[in-house]
Structure 1
């Protein structure tokens, strides 16, 4: 299933690839290379992770297409249990599994002909920003990390967006999810949470839902593999396991946090910038909301990304 939301540059090649995670799940990916690349090129390599609920044919491919033109080998992938990747509980999400997807991508890039394993970095869009940072905390093979419109999915589940989940609401939610586990154990059919991107958009639609819906649920960013839904009980593991409690371990490797000045999610990037050790940079894109940086190539700061990774790999 293709349905890429962008046109591949004639200066770039895209090759379908697959590779295993340590959990035995085979990931479906695309490898983008400059057209003149060969097994002797020694290219710097990047992994681009999809937004939470997204797939490789959307924003990740847009980033990969542009950065391959600029001399990088770029890997995109569908997360485990989602898209075209394996995993027989469809649309499951897990902090450890999604972080492992990044480690596995480093395994792949570091053993691929023509890629320099000493120059490997990560770009995480939205939820993948948190997963990429988490992987870098314990994986020194990742030499630099950039996030774009970052979400910390564990924090969001545990606190609610912007800290909206109070103690009573959290207890009630945990009771509901605990009961749901018994239901699913008995009938073997995991239930799905509501879509993050509503199909119908009305005047009453919450502004954040509208923003996601105008991308995922419209031709702009639509892909049939990207339902923006995960199994309901997936949220339990995110509530229980923090992703980013070892940020200081990344130093002295550099971190770049990119966000739109109008992004509803900007507090995630701002808080991580405060917590992370040097070297670090917070880069603000004027006139951009959260989702704009998924696909609007006139706003995505490709020059900044190129200079950041080139500098990190020098």
Structure 2
């Protein structure tokens, strides 16, 4: 049961097979006071960029809230545009907004948005994820961008971060309007929820997880509301957690990346959240992204690196895999000196035409 708890609680990974690391001191950032304002952003807006709050609906009628980032010199020109979301459990004031800010500074109109059931976006119950609906969220963002008078609807791409890298690839496979896609620190959430980290979950463990989820449904039905699972990240660390849990903590639970609306910073998924992920391999059609180009970016020391490498093996050309030396998973969330923004700029400039 310990492994099942980890799967649900900490980004639904099978952490039980990872060795605990030796105790270490938390970052000095932890002693700083975290900003709990909902208006707080974890990065500074570029003085070359304008940010506008926007809203749009997806195909299921859920209202999504996003931030539209535009170059200050936008004028009446038709610009290339990017839809950006992620990581899984994060909000637009965190990594996706930072990416949008950087890409707008480089000459793109960029939309960072909160997914359905998350942050400022609509959807009930709260704190829920769905492979289908979160894939649709990207296509709805494409709808919105393509209706803007200063966007060339034939020049729209997607950037997906962490678990939304998987949804970004799935959206690109099914939505031919998307001309190019890039992912950073890719996670396939359907794979990790159904098979565990490094595909380590046995058929018996999977069956037990499904039985547990079924029992939880009885409880939710009796209570007429879904139960919340355990916190994704603890208030404090004991020191013996797996190294990558410490890395998540150093982003989400410190002033570096904390946001009050972020599940990873401040909350929990519904206990039954994994159900829709268990039987739905969202990247089964990744080959159909071709002939549109794909760029996969991962950290050399990231625990998630294998997701990018495995997708690269099965995807058709044109495709490119970049491994960033001496970096871990969360380094690609916010470290602007590490994230290859120049490469992203060149990739989309070359392929959104």
TM-score, normalised via structure 1 length: 0.98
Alpha-carbon shift at residue 214 of structure 1 (Å): 1.1
Alpha-carbon shift at residue 163 of structure 1 (Å): 1.5
Equivalents in 2 of 1:271, 1:200: separation in Å?
Answer: 34
Equivalents in 2 of 1:198, 1:226: separation in Å?
Answer: 14
Tell me the C-alpha RMSD between the 2 structures. Answer: 0.9
Alpha-carbon shift at residue 201 of structure 1 (Å): 1.2
2:6 corresponds to = none
Does the 8 A contact of 1:215 with 1:221 survive in 2? yes
Q: Does 1:35 align with 2:72?
A: yes
Aligned length: 313
For residues 98-142 of structure 1, the C-alpha deviation after alignment (integer angstroms, 9 at most, x for no partner) is 000000000000011101100000000000100000001110100
1:83 corresponds to = 119
Q: Does 1:17 align with 2:62?
A: no
Which range moves more in the overlay, 185-194 or 20-29? Answer: 185-194
1:305 corresponds to = 344
Tell me the SS of whatever aligns to 2:263: coil
| 1:265-284 map, 5 Å | 265-284=304-323
For residues 177-199 of structure 1, the C-alpha deviation after alignment (integer angstroms, 9 at most, x for no partner) is 00100110111231223333332
Tell me the SS of whatever aligns to 2:227: coil
Does the 8 A contact of 1:198 with 1:210 survive in 2? no
Q: Which ranges of structure 2 fall in alignment gaps of 5 or more residues? A: 1-37
| 1:101-140 map, 5 Å | 101-140=137-176
Does the 8 A contact of 1:50 with 1:128 survive in 2? yes
Q: Which ranges of structure 1 fall in alignment gaps of 5 or more residues? A: none
Does the 8 A contact of 1:150 with 1:259 survive in 2? yes
TM-score, normalised via structure 2 length: 0.87
Equivalents in 1 of 2:198, 2:227: separation in Å?
Answer: 26
Tell me the SS of whatever aligns to 1:97: helix
Specify which structure has the bigger relative contact order, considering alpha-carbon pairs within 8 angstroms and separated by 6 or more residues. Answer: 2
Q: Does 1:164 align with 2:200?
A: yes
Q: 1:254 aligns with which of 290, 293, 302?
A: 293
Show structure 1 runs of 4+ deviating over 4 A: none
